[in-house]
Structure 1
Amino acid sequence: MNEKFFDLKKEKQDRMINAALKVFALNGYRHASTDDIVREAAISKGLLFHYFENKLGVYAFVYDYSVRYLLLELSTAVDAKETDLFTLMQQVETGKMHAMCGYPYLQPFLNRAQAENVNEALVAVEERKQQMEEAYENIYARADLGKYAAAEDVMKLRKMMELTIKGLMNERILEDAFQPEMLYEEILEYLQLSRRLAERSGQPSDEEITEK
Structure 2
Amino acid sequence: MYEKFYSLAEDKQQRIINAGLEVFGQYDYKHASTDLMASKAGISKGLLFYYFKNKKDFYIFLYNYLIEIMTKLVVDEEFLAITDFFDLLRYSVIKKHDVLKRNPHIMDFSMRAFYSEKEDVSERLKAMTLNYEETAFQKYFARLDTSKFKEEAGDYFYIYKMLRWMADGYMHDIQMSGHSIDVDTLMDEFDRWMKMIKKLVYKEEYQDD
TM-score, normalization by structure 1: 0.67
Q: CA deviation at 1:66?
A: 1.7
- 2:50 is aligned to 50
In the alignment, the residues of structure 1 paired with residue 174 and residue 3 of structure 2 have an alpha-carbon distance, to the nearest angstrom, of 32
- 1:207 is aligned to none
The answer to whether the Cα contact below 8 Å between 1:145 and 1:151 also exists between their aligned partners in 2 is no
Q: Give the unaligned 5+ runs of structure 1.
A: 205-212
- Larger deviation: 39-48 or 102-111? 102-111
Pairing partner for 1:162 from 158, 167, 171: 167
- 1:134 is aligned to 134
In the alignment, the residues of structure 2 paired with residue 36 and residue 190 of structure 1 have an alpha-carbon distance, to the nearest angstrom, of 36
Q: CA RMSD in A?
A: 3.9
Q: Sequence identity, in percent?
A: 26
Q: How many residues align?
A: 196
- 1:113 is aligned to 113
- 2:33 is aligned to 33
In the alignment, the residues of structure 2 paired with residue 30 and residue 6 of structure 1 have an alpha-carbon distance, to the nearest angstrom, of 26
Task: Answer with 1 or 2: which has the greater Rg.
Answer: 1
Q: CA deviation at 1:118?
A: 4.1
Deviations 1:95-114 (A, max 9, x none): 42455477543344233222
In the alignment, the residues of structure 2 paired with residue 145 and residue 159 of structure 1 have an alpha-carbon distance, to the nearest angstrom, of 23
Q: CA deviation at 1:82?
A: 2.8
The answer to whether the Cα contact below 8 Å between 1:148 and 1:198 also exists between their aligned partners in 2 is no
In the alignment, the residues of structure 2 paired with residue 12 and residue 113 of structure 1 have an alpha-carbon distance, to the nearest angstrom, of 24
Secondary structure, in 3 states, of the residue corresponding to 2:189? helix
In the alignment, the residues of structure 2 paired with residue 2 and residue 103 of structure 1 have an alpha-carbon distance, to the nearest angstrom, of 24
TM-score, normalization by structure 2: 0.68
In the alignment, the residues of structure 2 paired with residue 15 and residue 132 of structure 1 have an alpha-carbon distance, to the nearest angstrom, of 26
When residues 192 and 96 of structure 1 are mapped into structure 2, their CA distance, relative to the original with a 3 A threshold, is closer
Deviations 1:130-176 (A, max 9, x none): 44222443245647484569848x948624642266359859xx76x
In the alignment, the residues of structure 2 paired with residue 40 and residue 147 of structure 1 have an alpha-carbon distance, to the nearest angstrom, of 50
Q: Give the unaligned 5+ runs of structure 2.
A: 205-209
In the alignment, the residues of structure 2 paired with residue 197 and residue 118 of structure 1 have an alpha-carbon distance, to the nearest angstrom, of 35
